[in-house]
Amino acid sequence: MAENAVALKLHAFWTSQPEVWFAQAEAQFHIRSITADATKYYYVVSALDQPIAGRLLDVLQSPPAEERSP
C-alpha cells in the first residue's frame, strides 16, 4: 500500500475543551484520509504547546506501540 504525503497543521491543543479539539482533529484526519495510527499520534503531539507537552513527557518519551490515537 502506497503512502502519500499530506499537509496538515492542527490548531494548538485546547486545554479548556479537549473533547471538541479531538473531534476537530479527527475531522481533519478524515478529510485528508489519514488512517494510520502513528500518523495521527504524531500530528496530535505536534499540536501540544510546551506546558502540556511537559506534563505528558512520560508518554511522549515512551509512546504506546499500538492504538496511539484517541
Query: pLDDT by residue (tens digit) across 9-27?
Result: 899 999 999 999 999 999 9
Backbone angles phi, psi at 68, to 5 degrees: -80, -30
CA 40 to chain centre: 5
Question: Smallest Cα–Cα separation from 62: which of 48, 41, 39, 33?
Answer: 41
Query: pLDDT by residue (tens digit) across 27-70?
Result: 999 999 999 988 998 999 999 999 999 999 998 888 777 665 55
Q: Copy the grid coordinates of residue 6.
A: 499530506
pLDDT score recorded for residue 67: 64
Confidence (pTM): 0.77
What are the domain boundaries of the chain? 18-61
Cell 499537509: give the residue: 7
